[in-house]
Chain A
Amino acid sequence: SQQGEEDPQALSIQEGENATMNCSYKTSINNLQWYRQNSGRGLVHLILIRSNEREKHSGRLRVTLDTSKKSSSLLITASRAADTASYFCATDDLVNKFYFGSGTKLNVKP
């Protein structure tokens, strides 16, 4: 990928467990966003974190950003079967190029 790599590529957990996905990127950014995609359909925006922010929460989602390490993590707490999807990070760099990571496939088993 030109910008982001996500880790792990796939994650399988039981309902109720927490899921953590990581995203690393290469260049300085304006902001970083996380998206969810179900079965090859359109992407749903989850959360945006700006380069001057370190942590953000939205419901069961918690995102952290470490610009010194050029990395971000997405934590989904108390996962549900409906959280099964692919999760992508996307970075908006300083020359306004928008890059998506390779994605993490999350499978939440009921």
Chain B
Amino acid sequence: KAGVTQTPRYLIKTRGQQVTLSCSPISGHRSVSWYQQTPGQGLQFLFEYFSETQRNKGNFPGRFSGRQFSNSRSEMNVSTLELGDSALYLCASSLAWRDTQYFGPGTRLTVL
């Protein structure tokens, strides 16, 4: 069974731009969560989707948004990029809500 895939793997943007990251969960998994990892703040929870509904949200500004499609694929959008948004963005999927999470390789975003 294929694992969680994230695209793109690497991305370079400039301040003020917006970016969309994509995550394809493991086949059959209905829950997708997003995390931001930085050296200073560590791993921080962004949001979680289950059956196209946002079930939970971390403490991030409204510039960070996401959605989940009917096939469970998810996208995350960051608008008006700031230098501090440079990070590894990780997506995780699970079979059911609050189940064991399986992580993708991440998208490394660099904001210049």
Contact = CB atoms under 8 A, between A and B. Distances in A.
Partners in one complex: yes
Interface of A: 1, 30, 33, 35, 40-45, 48, 88, 90, 92, 96-103
Interface residues on B, range: 20 to 34
A97 B45 contact: yes
B103 A42 contact: yes
B101 interface: yes
Given A43-B92, A45-B101, A97-B56, 10 more contacts: A30-B98, A33-B101, A35-B103, A42-B103, A45-B100, A45-B102, A48-B100, A96-B56, A99-B45, A102-B42
B33 A98 contact: yes
A40 B102 contact: no
Contacts, number: 47
15 contacts: A30-B98, A33-B101, A42-B4, A42-B104, A43-B92, A43-B103, A45-B103, A88-B43, A96-B55, A96-B56, A97-B56, A98-B33, A100-B43, A101-B42, A102-B42
Contact of A92 (B44, B58, B92, B98): B98
Given A45-B100, A96-B56, A1 B42 contact: yes
Nearest to B41: A1
A97 B78 CA distance: 21
Contact of A33 (B4, B48, B90, B100): B100
A88 B44 CA distance: 12
